[in-house]
Amino acid sequence: NNPPYNTGAFRFELTFSPNHPLEPPRATLRTPIYHPSVDPEGRVCQPLTTHVHWEHTTRAVQVLQDLLLQLDSPDPQRALRPDVARELQERPEEFRRRAEEHTHLHAEPRPDP
């Protein structure tokens, strides 16, 4: 919902282990995104779904809400791409420009509400 990603739609996949809910699901972005917490393969740095923080009572909707919040508000402290995190901290306008450009090139059109 927030710039620089609000002009496109991003697909992701939530994969559940056969041991779910004892093991956390894994979120993977299928649409390329210029984001410090998402690596080029689409893996997401999402602390909620790490084995250290995972609670078997966590629901899938909570994982999705956490993912959307994280994607909407990039945090350089949760970085899988240190170069992008550094750019976000040191040159935020350049980060925003690149993220908007990347969104325009790779994201799908947003569906109408």
Q: Is there a catalytic annotation at residue 36?
A: no
Long-range contacts of 79-86 (CB under 8 A, 24+ apart): 79/36, 79/37, 79/45, 80/36, 80/37, 80/38, 80/39, 80/43, 80/44, 80/45, 81/35, 81/36, 81/37, 81/38, 81/39, 81/40, 82/36, 84/34, 84/35, 84/36, 85/36
Q: Catalytic residue among 27, 44, 45, 88, which?
A: 45
Active site residues: 45
